[in-house]
Chains A and B, each alone.
Chain A
């Protein structure tokens, strides 16, 4: 069975634009705000948001970091997930800053839990918000809720939601794979 397209390119870009405006609404000039994308796919979203934010407000001084959570996972030795870490690139101190953590899909919440933990190595932020493109609600293992959501998707555990990026797969879209695939 073919995967079902749940967000097409037009919708995708509208959603990103809306998220950017929502960020501006809350953070105005981003004076004390930093964006941190979670490796690997959250990084694409963070970079795309940065691009859109700069189109809206070209004089914005925006800091974007990448955070890898591999060593902070709670399923080490319990999973076949890759052990190999990605690059963490945070060239600023987050002490006293407002941090917007960014990931593509929020599912169980365990990645975000690890992200919160990993982030503390770079200081104590004043405030942490969570921005996700897709929120697979009702599937949370932890009490974690996003502050900004692109789209809420109802799905069952065996289904898989995959965000594709122009930079990687050639087209911006979100696909849902059902369990038969």
Chain B
């Protein structure tokens, strides 16, 4: 039986190329399902999933919830703002309390890197990482690669540049792992203050000039400037960042090829990407959102198959 090599989805780092292929071929069929008049299958009808969001999220939370409901799972939601976490409860206690209500899977976003690893050793449920601090955001990287594969046929051999705030980005790290496992070349581009010092040890290229990076790549993944994670100034002003690293139509017109533009959202229009580019035919931003549901369905389905009865 083809099955995932892992029991939890904690990060892309733990996955094999075969795991990624299995997730994608399963997601292909789920994408077909969610485009039917009746967008639901009964596979997870006896599974209960808790969505625990200790950090804000709109699209990831909606995407997971929709994926769970399309698979017929029972869903409970939790946001830390309105909970007993504020009263001093520990993570393990919070989650164990939820599990005692007979929950089979936990989808969690947490501000602390490694919170999911810690939890997976301490509780008995399948865990899906929906983002842990500046560490990993595996389902985002999977849906990004899935979207590249859909648009270009395959990921292997392609050149992808990730532009922006690499330092604070869990999307960047997960994407680097995912793309490299599939045989793509990765470059990061941004101001030196937002590129981690040892990033080249991961085997990625570093470029500080946006136009040069674009000339090299097949795909540009534009990241949002995460002002909420920056406790000191990494660049003089938003305006200066936009002048240097904001993607405009002029950049695209200066290239002798058509590249694909991606963005994990939420977009700051006019900062890292202009409205014109975001809405252009080269942008696959909304395809990414649609694919997110199919990819998350595949991950939940494949992990749920490993729950012992």
Binding site for B on A (CB under 8 A): 68, 70-73, 76-78, 80-88, 117-118, 120-123
Q: Are A85 and B305 in contact (CB-based, < 8 A)?
A: no
B25 & A77 in contact (Cβ 8 Å cutoff): no
- Is A83 in contact with B37, judged by CB distance below 8 angstroms? no
Cα distance, A72 to B72, chains bound together (Å): 11
For the complex, give the distance between the alpha carbons of A81 and B1 in Å. Answer: 7
With A and B bound together, what is the CA distance between A36 and B212 in angstroms?
53
B204 on interface, CB distance cutoff 8 Å:
no
**Are the CB atoms of B1 and A121 closer together than 8 Å?**
no
Q: Which residue of B has the minimal Cβ distance to A117?
A: B42
**Neighbouring B residues of A72 by C-beta, 8 Å:** 41-43
**CA of A22 to CA of B22, assembled, Å:** 41
Interface of B is mostly: loop
Q: Which residues of B contact A117 (CB under 8 A)?
A: 42
Min CB–CB distance A76 → chain B (angstroms):
5
Nearest-neighbour CB distance to chain B for A155, whole angstroms, equals: 25
> Nearest CB to that of A90 among chain B residues?
B36
28 contacts between A and B (CB under 8 A): A68-B29, A71-B29, A71-B30, A71-B42, A71-B301, A72-B42, A73-B43, A76-B43, A77-B307, A77-B309, A78-B309, A82-B1, A82-B2, A83-B2, A83-B3, A83-B26, A83-B305, A86-B29, A87-B29, A88-B32, A118-B41, A120-B38, A121-B33, A121-B36, A121-B37, A121-B39, A122-B36, A122-B37
For residue A80, which residues in chain B have a CB less than 8 angstroms away from its CB?
1
B contact residues vs A (CB 8 Å cutoff): 1-3, 22, 25-26, 29-30, 32-33, 36-44, 301-302, 304-305, 307, 309
B38 touches A84 (CB 8 A): no
Contact of B301 among A81, A83, A120, A123 (CB under 8 A): A83
CB of A71 within 8 A of CB of B43, answer yes
A71 near B33: Cβ-Cβ < 8 Å: yes
A121 to B30, CA, bound (A): 13
The 5 closest A-B pairs by CB, nearest first: A71-B41, A85-B29, A121-B38, A121-B36, A71-B43
Instruction: Decide: B1 and A83 in contact? CB cutoff 8 A.
Output: yes
CB atoms of B1 and A76 under 8 A apart: no
Q: Within the assembled complex, what's the spacing in Å between the Cα atoms of A85 and B302?
A: 11
Of B22, B30, B38, B305, the contact of A77 (CB 8 Å cutoff): B305
Q: A68-B29, A71-B33, A121-B36 are in contact. Are A84 and B41 (CB under 8 A)?
A: no
Q: A72-B42, A77-B304 are in contact. Are A85 and B26 (CB under 8 A)?
A: yes
Known: A82-B2, A85-B29, A123-B37. 17 other contacts (CB 8 A): A70-B29, A71-B29, A71-B30, A71-B41, A71-B43, A71-B301, A72-B41, A73-B43, A76-B304, A81-B1, A83-B1, A83-B2, A84-B25, A88-B29, A121-B36, A121-B38, A122-B37
Decide if B309 touches A84 in the complex (CB within 8 Å). no
Within 8 Å CB of B2, what residues of A?
A: 82-84
How long is the Cα–Cα vector from A76 to B47 in the complex, in angstroms? 11
Question: A residues within 8 A CB of B305?
Answer: 76-77, 83
Q: Once bound together, how far apart are the Cα atoms of A120 and B302, in whole Å?
A: 24
- How far is A81 from B3 in the complex, measured between Cα atoms in Å? 11
